[in-house]
Structure 1
Amino acid sequence: MRYLFAFLFCFTNLVFAQRDYSNQWQDLYSYNNVKDFTIVGNKLYAISNNAMFVYDIETDDTQKFSSVNGLSGTTTSSISFDDISSNIIIGYENGLIELISDDNVVVPLTGIRDNLILVDKIVKGVYSAQNQSYVFGDFGIVELDIANFEFGDTYKLSNSSSSYSVNQIAIENNTLYAATNNGLYKIDLSLNPIIFNNWTQVTSGNITGLLNLNGEVYFTKGSSVFEITNPTTSVISESNNILNINFNPSSSELIITMSNLVTLYETSTFTKTDQVNLSSAANYNFTTTKAIISNNEVYVNTTNFGILNTPLTDKVNYTELHPDGPSANDIFSITVSNGQKWISYGGFNPSYNGLNRYRGVDYFVNGTWNYLKNNEIGSKKDYLKIIVDPFDSSRVLIASIRDGVTELNDFNFVKRWVKNNTNNILPGHYISGEAFVGNMIIDKNNMIWTANSSAVDNKFFSRYNGEKNDVDRWETKITFPDIGGSEGFVRGFNKMYVDRNNNVYAATARTGLFVFNADPVSDESKREITVLNDQANKGQLKSNYVFSVVADENDRVWIGTGLGLVVFDDYDNLYSATKRPANTLIIEENGAARELLADTQVNDIIIDLAGNKWFATQGAGVIQTSSDGQTTYNIFNTSNSPLPDNIVIDLELDEITGEIYMVTEKGMLSYNSKNEPFGTSITPIIAYPNPAIRNQVGHENITIVAKDGNGIPDGTNVKIMDVSGKLVYETNVNQSNQSFGGKIVWNKTNLRGNPVVSGVYIVLLSKADGSESTTTKIAIVN
């Protein structure tokens, strides 16, 4: 999709390069909450929270448009079709307008958004008549010249500093009508509409809808419909507030939409000709704000099911119309494991009290997203983290901030684990007795550990062993010593991490970083445990509000706090009484030294398959650096990437494909660097997945990359040999024909194109002159 920018107030059209990110990014947005839609011919155009989809009524094909392929990704407010230009026009809550032509050229018009005088900027629609287009919304009415991408005059419908909010407009007999939150206004277009005193108020009140049909203008107020020729006497009265008025093009009947009822009226005697009771829908419980009838088919927008469609001859059986995806955008966390993806929608406030979200969970298997309703998984609230049991991928555990751990098997509810049915291994709250589980993680022995905030007697961690049966799976709990301010009251747990030595790190709010070794011990009192905090000899962290942590292969512990990033390098003394202070990371930028992520809350940190670090921040997007943090490879934010928000709350690595998932409160995307830049020298390499297992998802190809993230140099010779030294495969990294850039993708075939057998293979990279080389090993299991 081509992407053009127009700066309107200077009336200069500037065309920039296409911003199509679909080669490396994938939107995982929800399209279920349809805020507005329109039908043009056989195409249905619908906007969700921050994206659009097009449904072809004849072919059933669906196409997504989002920040990945050209749209802004900000919060939408309206969608219209412009008869003059044949453009689809999307309006946004921040005042942005995007024009989409038949050939999918996107032109963003920024004049209203960037106007410093306007305060309220929600765009409620675009109306075209008499070769003139108008944008209307909270700011009043603005003329729009679509052909030249220019705004004209603004009609501020008020004598005060701000305009009345305009809900709809219509033109009939050279008179412009405006339905506002302060009444219905009209003006003869021979007068100057810029001057508010030239407007006449037809009636007062909140006028929600306006429609001109067959020479008459109708407007809606409350639960009634009026004609403009008699604005005091209603022609239609309903029992509920009217949310939308339009007409059936095949019969010119009025279509009146209420939240759970759609009625049709003929316009000569205003007799009701038909109605659709949405409460009678089979298998769906929903309300709507707009209905459109096309070819005797009813289409209504919903908040949870996209567009629902039923024939006028049916009215009971509905079909969902929307792209496949998660059920909502306000995701809290994602888990990727064993070919499955799981999404939770819980959360907590700054005090780590739950948000009382009685929501279900999403899962992705076999190429399709599915939703488990809240009442299908135990009817509890604020589910925070989901773990797939490494011993049984059909078993899933779900942590709740207040309701213990929910267990599912084959996507069905099994039980809820709390204090009373775990032999008190899963402790209760020190006052209420409820099990507050803020996070979970799998250790190197495939044990699952829960992090229990507000646990009685500081029993902050419990172990679940999926190899055992029923309650015996809950094996042990870890009691931490009294820590200032934490007696029974760790405010909340944030991210967790397990290092190569099976040390478990748990970031906490207010009480620093908890660490314990997860290997089995015969006596829990002898288990190695420690805390890093802001105290002397305890790591001297920048802040006790710790949000994220990882430990790399060099045993450097990277700690994200509310006040920035620090690195703990005293790994040998991790469990000693005295520890050296953690340090900020000083990097060189443009010849000057600066602190990496200074004063920036780091919400999550992950290490990708090449050893690079990824940092999710509270307001600065996502930063990717080299393994040592000294080189910044990418900074992703709303201005240079498809991210819909600069606050990124969760990162997840698919350890099979290398894909990075980024979660914001406005939706989730994934990033996959399908090509790498070419490096300047041959450095150590890494291959993944390793081992590569036959018939396992994501194991079809093996990717070989430079471990430092700098890419493999152009011209590098690549040989893959078996352990006897026999050449199995050979290629060259060549800029002219290498579609993956500075990395190698091997499909596990030999020089004849046949699949290789199981075994260990040696990868040798070398320069043509033999001056540089490096090797790595790959295991293949068929």
Structure 2
Amino acid sequence: MKKIPYFLLITCLVFLTNKLNAQTPIGTWQTYFNYAKAKQVLVLGNKIYCISENGFFYYDTSENQAITLSKIDGLSEVGIAKIHYVASRQSIIIAYTSGNIDILSLSSTNEPLEISNISLLKESTIQGSKGVNHIASKDNLAYLSYNFGLVVLDVAKQDIKETYQNLGDKGSSIEIYKTAFANDSIYLATSVGIRKAKYASNVNLQYFGNWSTLYPVKSTLSTWQNGILVADNSGKIFSYQNGKSTNLIDLSNKIDVLEILQANKYWVLTGTSSNILDLSQNTYSSFGNANIKAIKDLQVDAQGKYWLADYQNGLMSNSEGSFKSYSPQSLDTLYQNRKDSVVADTEGNLWIRGSVFGGILVKNSSNQQKYISTGIGYGNLPSSNVKTLVLDKDGQMWTGTDKGVVVFDSPSNVFSGSNFDAYTPIYEKRRLLGNETVNTIAVDGGNRKWMGTNNGLFLFSSDGTSLVSQFTESDSPLPSNEILYVKTDSKGEVFIRTSKGLVSYRGTATESTSLQSENTVKVFPNPVRPDFEGTIGIEGLVENAFVKITDIAGNLIYETQANGGTATWNGKTLAGKKAETGIYLIFSGNAKGEETLVNRLVIVK
């Protein structure tokens, strides 16, 4: 029999495993944000950028594809207040409601490249809201309008250059809503009307004395020719050029938004009425469509087509005829309905949290009831404020409260007359999360416990005595440390609902199987390519199986035990070195305790 060359054998296995390998890599995060509640849009050639309530994405008109951007891609956080394009730097300023600022540099085709962060404002001691109201730019400087004042950002140096506060008469504090530039002047729409100053290198804009009131009525503004347009609360729109004002139109409603679309063409929003003001034609006409429900922003592309942010239907456009949505599918409704309020134990008794008196009410099939509360002999809850209940694979009822976690190891004892008090797991010589509000607990395929608190997400061992992993907003793609609900599925996915949106994490544990063979066990990724630095998963094993990995000659390379139906390998030998290029054999004990070959793995370096 002719031998197949070793390199050819590897090539064949790479081809076959490529066709079979379609698993989500272990450690991968995914977002499920709301892209329907759109707030702002930027038209940059064939890339249309849009922010929603907790999402950020762009639509590529040449590829007919929407691409989402998030912390997974390098953004600092969620909750974007405004975005603004700085043409001189080919960059987008991303300003968050927290005061944090990202600068996203773009390619020549307006695709995302690098992200830089400026956290100075977020970390400052400035009081009040740090959510930006508006962003304008001139040359390499961006002017960010806040309720507390005006922040000048040097986009080229990626640093905050100056902060202007107390720009009202006699240095009084005023809120700044919008900034515009015309000729040699800078204009501000503020809480006391329109303020004006000369824009020149020898003028100190931090000094209130260099500012004057152009119009003492609360208004919004926009640029126009060599001057500005002003729209006030009474509905009047007038121009201001060369020191002279001219009334243009009087509307009956307060004007909320005045934005330039094209030369002499403006979008005017009065309450829920959207309109187009065309100064070249001297027309003012209604803008709307049955599909447009709650318009928040409007832009025009080079072909004259409209792109708008709608708070119900997301990014919308008439670029292909009638108006339709171009937003990615919003999946933030996954697992909105919690399943931890009424939980059945192994005897069919219903455990109900949050009764009228707090604590837990237990009911059996004979209509008996038992109230569980604080105190020895009554259940021994650390608090009557019960946040979550979950039954684990050993039949134990895990309970999260605003003072940590307790466990009922024999829930059926509730009606037996025996002691049914909960016990408290001990971690590092302390009550498990005793100082935390535990909002949610989920059990994965390895019977481990995922615990969501107001300070992040914790993964503990099956008995709660050792910490496996911990995730927070600062060290992971979690959008918030406030974890409201966690749900695991049989495939190892951990869904995490936070106060700022839903994300998922591909964990290391899945539900086990009763049978395992080369046909049912999946190894991923397979092949392992040179640039892979993650964790290799071996899925489809019997519960908590022992796994051995050998080279083609039978030498033991690594051994481990599965979590539920999945084992993991970091790609290193028992000696801690990276495994060399080659074919590796994976053996596992089956249900009878027999060690069998379950799969092959190819590593290419």
TM-score scaled by structure 2? 0.77
Distance 1:646 1:213 in 2: 45
The equivalences for 1:254-333 within 5 A come to 254-268=266-280, 271-272=282-283, 275-278=285-288, 281-282=289-290, 284=291, 286-294=293-301, 295-310=303-318, 317-326=322-331
The equivalences for 1:569-588 within 5 A come to 569-571=409-411, 573-588=413-428
Distance 2:120 2:523 in 1: 49
Cα deviation, residue 134, structure 1: 2.0
Cα deviation, residue 580, structure 1: 4.9
Match of residue 546 from structure 1: 386
1:715 paired to 2:557 = yes
Whether the 8 Å contact between 1:610 and 1:705 is mirrored in structure 2 is: no
Distance 2:182 2:271 in 1: 29
Which of the numbers 107, 120, 125 marks the counterpart of 1:111?
A: 120
Which of the numbers 455, 473, 478 marks the counterpart of 1:643?
A: 478
Cα deviation, residue 207, structure 1: 1.9
Cα deviation, residue 687, structure 1: 5.6
Whether the 8 Å contact between 2:187 and 2:195 is mirrored in structure 1 is: yes
The equivalences for 1:144-293 within 5 A come to 144-156=153-165, 157-158=167-168, 163-189=173-199, 190-208=202-220, 210-222=221-233, 223-229=235-241, 233-249=246-262, 252-268=264-280, 271-272=282-283, 275-278=285-288, 281-282=289-290, 284=291, 286-293=293-300
After superposition, what is the alpha-carbon deviation per residue over 1:482-501, rounded to whole angstroms, capped at 9, x for unaligned? xxxxxxxxxxxx62333444
Distance 1:104 1:565 in 2: 44
1:532 paired to 2:362 = no
Cα deviation, residue 532, structure 1: 2.5
Match of residue 665 from structure 1: 499
SS in 1 for 2:255: coil
The equivalences for 1:338-737 within 5 A come to 343-344=336-337, 495-509=341-355, 510-517=357-364, 524=366, 529-571=369-411, 573-588=413-428, 593-617=429-453, 619-655=454-490, 657-673=491-507, 688=512, 703-704=539-540, 715-716=557-558, 735=571
Cα deviation, residue 92, structure 1: 1.6
Distance 2:26 2:268 in 1: 40
After superposition, what is the alpha-carbon deviation per residue over 1:197-222, rounded to whole angstroms, capped at 9, x for unaligned? 210100112222x3223212112223
- Say if 1:265 and 1:575 are closer, same or farther in 2 by CA, change over 3 A: closer
- Say if 1:163 and 1:500 are closer, same or farther in 2 by CA, change over 3 A: same
Whether the 8 Å contact between 1:44 and 1:56 is mirrored in structure 2 is: yes
Distance 1:27 1:689 in 2: 29
The one-letter amino acid paired with 1:628 is D
- Say if 1:117 and 1:255 are closer, same or farther in 2 by CA, change over 3 A: closer
1:79 paired to 2:88 = no
Distance 2:319 2:358 in 1: 59
Distance 1:285 1:299 in 2: 11
The one-letter amino acid paired with 1:213 is W
After superposition, what is the alpha-carbon deviation per residue over 1:637-682, rounded to whole angstroms, capped at 9, x for unaligned? 2122222222222221212x12111112321111112x68xxxxxx
Cα deviation, residue 188, structure 1: 0.9
Whether the 8 Å contact between 1:625 and 1:633 is mirrored in structure 2 is: yes
SS in 1 for 2:209: helix
Cα deviation, residue 716, structure 1: 3.8
- Say if 1:203 and 1:689 are closer, same or farther in 2 by CA, change over 3 A: farther
Cα deviation, residue 286, structure 1: 0.9
SS in 1 for 2:177: strand
TM-score scaled by structure 1? 0.61
Whether the 8 Å contact between 2:37 and 2:313 is mirrored in structure 1 is: yes
Match of residue 109 from structure 2: none
The one-letter amino acid paired with 1:124 is N
Whether the 8 Å contact between 1:170 and 1:212 is mirrored in structure 2 is: yes
Cα deviation, residue 69, structure 1: 2.1
Distance 1:54 1:710 in 2: 46
The one-letter amino acid paired with 1:291 is L
Cα deviation, residue 276, structure 1: 4.4
Whether the 8 Å contact between 2:512 and 2:542 is mirrored in structure 1 is: no
1:138 paired to 2:142 = no
After superposition, what is the alpha-carbon deviation per residue over 1:71-90, rounded to whole angstroms, capped at 9, x for unaligned? 23332211110122111111
The one-letter amino acid paired with 1:109 is I
Identity of aligned residues (%): 24
Bigger drift between 539-548 and 191-200 goes to 539-548
The equivalences for 1:30-69 within 5 A come to 30-69=34-73
The one-letter amino acid paired with 2:512 is Y
Whether the 8 Å contact between 1:514 and 1:532 is mirrored in structure 2 is: yes
Distance 1:79 1:734 in 2: 40
- Say if 1:556 and 1:184 are closer, same or farther in 2 by CA, change over 3 A: same
SS in 2 for 1:715: strand
Whether the 8 Å contact between 1:51 and 1:73 is mirrored in structure 2 is: no
- Say if 1:116 and 1:505 are closer, same or farther in 2 by CA, change over 3 A: same
Cα deviation, residue 609, structure 1: 0.4
1:25 paired to 2:29 = yes
1:88 paired to 2:92 = yes
- Say if 1:776 and 1:199 are closer, same or farther in 2 by CA, change over 3 A: farther
Distance 2:364 2:81 in 1: 51
Cα deviation, residue 705, structure 1: 7.0
Whether the 8 Å contact between 1:91 and 1:124 is mirrored in structure 2 is: no
Distance 1:658 1:130 in 2: 50
Match of residue 725 from structure 1: none
SS in 1 for 2:295: coil
Cα deviation, residue 119, structure 1: 2.8
- Say if 1:710 and 1:126 are closer, same or farther in 2 by CA, change over 3 A: farther
Whether the 8 Å contact between 1:534 and 1:544 is mirrored in structure 2 is: yes
After superposition, what is the alpha-carbon deviation per residue over 1:110-134, rounded to whole angstroms, capped at 9, x for unaligned? 1211110343322123322244332
Whether the 8 Å contact between 1:83 and 1:128 is mirrored in structure 2 is: no
After superposition, what is the alpha-carbon deviation per residue over 1:416-475, rounded to whole angstroms, capped at 9, x for unaligned? xxxxxxxxxxxxxxxxxxxxxxxxx6xxxxxxxxxxxxxxxxxxxxxxxxxxxxxxxxxx
Which of the numbers 577, 589, 592 marks the counterpart of 1:764?
A: 589
- Say if 1:545 and 1:160 are closer, same or farther in 2 by CA, change over 3 A: farther
Whether the 8 Å contact between 1:718 and 1:763 is mirrored in structure 2 is: no
Q: Runs of 5+ in structure 1 lacking a partner? A: 1-20, 336-342, 345-384, 386-440, 442-493, 519-523, 677-685, 720-730, 743-750, 752-761, 766-772
After superposition, what is the alpha-carbon deviation per residue over 1:587-635, rounded to whole angstroms, capped at 9, x for unaligned? 22xxxx2221113222221110011101122x12221111011111122
Count of aligned positions = 528
Whether the 8 Å contact between 2:259 and 2:268 is mirrored in structure 1 is: yes
SS in 2 for 1:735: coil
Whether the 8 Å contact between 1:305 and 1:320 is mirrored in structure 2 is: yes
After superposition, what is the alpha-carbon deviation per residue over 1:281-313, rounded to whole angstroms, capped at 9, x for unaligned? 23x36122322122221222211100221269x
The one-letter amino acid paired with 2:451 is F
- Say if 1:231 and 1:169 are closer, same or farther in 2 by CA, change over 3 A: farther
Tell me the C-alpha RMSD between the 2 structures.
4.0
Distance 1:111 1:706 in 2: 52
The one-letter amino acid paired with 2:317 is N
Whether the 8 Å contact between 2:548 and 2:588 is mirrored in structure 1 is: no
- Say if 1:776 and 1:260 are closer, same or farther in 2 by CA, change over 3 A: farther
Q: Runs of 5+ in structure 2 lacking a partner? A: 1-24, 107-111, 525-536, 550-555, 562-566, 579-584, 599-605
Cα deviation, residue 140, structure 1: 1.6
